[in-house]
């Protein structure tokens, strides 16, 4: 009797293939735009480097989707996959990360002294972003159940592609709501309406430089209302959205009878995929390249930690009906993420005010901005330590749940060869 079509694998193959086409096509178009900038070097093509950095990131993202499509197609063809090949262990990322200081140093020297930075930096850019994410992921999931290769790559690529897409849509709607509320608040103040009208005309017809924009908008950006609005959005709304969708790879495993250790590992995979995408997208600039890629190491650790915690909470809820625990882990992830974003904002507002000699009218903001870098470093180290501890705790023989739990409810046994869906 012919086996029925495995529709989850059909969807995985189709969506992965579509994403591969989109990413590689985008990489080609960005590279062409970058080459145009090399020869034109004026107007929108004044600096070709960002185009090449985005092209490199898009190309790598597309290539990382190939295993997901391959294993899904292999499943549809009725081929048996040896379960599960520990790709991370075979790659030995614990040794690869030793190359990171040399990569960052070489990238710094290229940005400072090379006339062909656009040609040399993209490869180093991918390595400087990818090596820490791979290393952190390896430390987090080593020895934990990852499922079949199809599932492992599907969960990782869900975080790489699907999570950013869903998060972007949700955050756009949230930002529009904030803009609408701001417009309603400004509408009742004619002097502000006139000021924003003048600024709009200046932006549209004046073609100001980034330095001029910061100089003009600086006094507005340090207003108490703007600071509070930014904090509420980036430290509350954004974490609520991102911590919901970031472990999308785990949500797609609902009904698969995941153990808490497997849920934690799946969350780490999905979180690592998202961390890689975000870091590649947000560091596509030659300005302050070294500082940006180093700072993203801490951000990646936080992303992997929060997604893995939520993944663990989801598995606990599905397997043991610990739904209150899932709520607590989600809120804990939101708190960690919100604190990280808040410290980053305090540092930015303090630096802006200090650079332009502007007062910060909210008490304590300047002081928090001064200690924020120390707080961010402390949080990054704490996230790293938490990942190591969780891996040790969940990976101990006979200790897969980390905390005492009641007897599991009846559920179908987990097939290690099943797909991610």
Q: Where are the domains of the chain?
A: 1-80, 93-395
Give residue 330's pLDDT: 97
pLDDT in tens, 259-318: 999 999 999 999 999 999 999 988 877 668 899 999 999 999 999 999 999 999 999 999
pLDDT in tens, 378-406: 999 999 999 999 999 998 765 544 444 44
Give residue 90's pLDDT: 67
Q: Which residue has the higher pLDDT, 5 or 101?
A: 101
Q: Is the predicted pLDDT of residue 230 greater than 70, yes or no?
A: yes
Distance between CA 9 and CA 370 in Å, rounded?
51
Distance between CA 394 and CA 300 in Å, rounded?
21
Contact 414, 67 (CB under 8 A): no
Report which of 145, 147, 174, 185 is spatially closest to residue 71, judged by C-alpha positions. Answer: 147
Q: Residue 277 is encoded by which pair of tokens?
A: 């995408």
pLDDT in tens, 238-256: 999 999 999 999 999 998 8
Give residue 81's pLDDT: 64
Give residue 382's pLDDT: 97
Q: Is the predicted pLDDT of residue 137 greater than 70, yes or no?
A: yes
Q: Which residue has the higher pLDDT, 2 or 64?
A: 64
pLDDT band at 338 (very low <50, low <70, confident <90, very high): very high
Distance between CA 181 and CA 200 in Å, rounded?
18
Within 10 Å of residue 309's Cβ, how many Cβ atoms? 26
Q: Is the predicted pLDDT of residue 112 greater than 80, yes or no?
A: yes
Angle formed at CA 152 by CA 394 and CA 307, multiple of 5 degrees: 55
Question: What one-character-per-residue DSSP string does 49-97 give?
Answer: HHHHHHHHHHHHHHHHTHHHHHHHHHHHTT----TT--HHHHH-HHHHG
pLDDT in tens, 3-59: 678 888 999 999 999 999 999 999 999 999 999 888 876 655 567 888 999 999 999
Question: What one-character-per-residue DSSP string does 188-250 give?
Answer: T-HHHHHHHHHHHHHHHHH---HHHHHHHHHHHHTSHHHHHHHHHIIIIIHHHHHHHHTTHHH
Give the count of alpha carbons within 13 A of 258, CB side only.
32
Give residue 223's pLDDT: 79
Give residue 212's pLDDT: 66
> Distance between alpha carbon 208 and the CA centroid of its chain, in Å?
31
pLDDT band at 420 (very low <50, low <70, confident <90, very high): very low
């Amino acid at each position: 009797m012919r086996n029925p079509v495995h529709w989850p694998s059909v969807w995985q193959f189709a969506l992965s293939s579509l994403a591969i086409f989109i990413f590689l096509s985008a990489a080609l178009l960005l590279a062409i735009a970058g080459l145009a900038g090399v020869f034109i070097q004026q107007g929108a093509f004044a600096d070709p480097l960002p185009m090449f950095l985005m092209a490199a990131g898009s190309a790598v993202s597309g290539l990382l989707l190939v295993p997901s499509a391959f294993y899904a197609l292999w499943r549809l063809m009725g081929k048996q996959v040896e379960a599960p090949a520990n790709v991370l262990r075979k790659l030995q990322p614990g040794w690869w990360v030793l190359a990171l200081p040399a990569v960052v140093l070489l990238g710094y020297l290229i940005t400072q002294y090379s006339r062909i930075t656009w040609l040399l930096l993209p490869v180093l850019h991918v390595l400087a972003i990818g090596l820490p994410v791979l290393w952190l992921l390896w430390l987090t999931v080593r020895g934990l159940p990852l499922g079949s290769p199809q599932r492992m790559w599907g969960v990782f690529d869900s975080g790489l592609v699907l999570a950013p897409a869903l998060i972007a849509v949700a955050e756009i709607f949230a930002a529009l709501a904030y803009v609408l509320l701001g417009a309603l608040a400004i509408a009742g103040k004619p002097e502000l309406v006139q000021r924003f009208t003048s600024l709009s005309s200046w932006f549209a017809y004046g073609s100001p430089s980034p330095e001029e924009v910061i100089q003009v908008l600086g006094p507005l950006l340090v207003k108490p209302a703007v600071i509070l609005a930014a904090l509420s959005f980036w430290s509350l709304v954004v974490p609520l959205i991102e911590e919901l969708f970031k472990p999308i790879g785990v949500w797609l495993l609902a009904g698969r009878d995941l153990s808490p250790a497997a849920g934690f590992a799946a969350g780490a995979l999905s979180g690592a995929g998202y961390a890689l995408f975000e870091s590649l997208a947000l560091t596509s600039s030659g300005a302050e390249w070294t500082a940006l890629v180093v700072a993203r190491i801490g951000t990646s650790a936080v992303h992997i930690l929060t997604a893995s915690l939520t993944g663990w909470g989801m598995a606990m809820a599905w397997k043991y009906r610990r739904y209150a625990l899932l709520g607590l882990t989600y809120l804990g992830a939101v708190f960690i993420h919100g604190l990280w974003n808040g410290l980053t904002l305090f540092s930015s507002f303090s630096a802006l005010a200090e650079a332009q000699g502007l007062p910060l009218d909210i008490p304590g903001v300047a002081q928090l901005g001064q200690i924020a870098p120390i707080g961010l470093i402390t949080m990054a180290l704490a996230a790293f330590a938490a990942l190591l501890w969780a891996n040790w705790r969940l990976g101990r023989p006979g200790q897969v749940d980390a905390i005492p739990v009641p007897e599991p409810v009846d559920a179908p046994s987990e097939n290690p060869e099943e797909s991610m869906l």
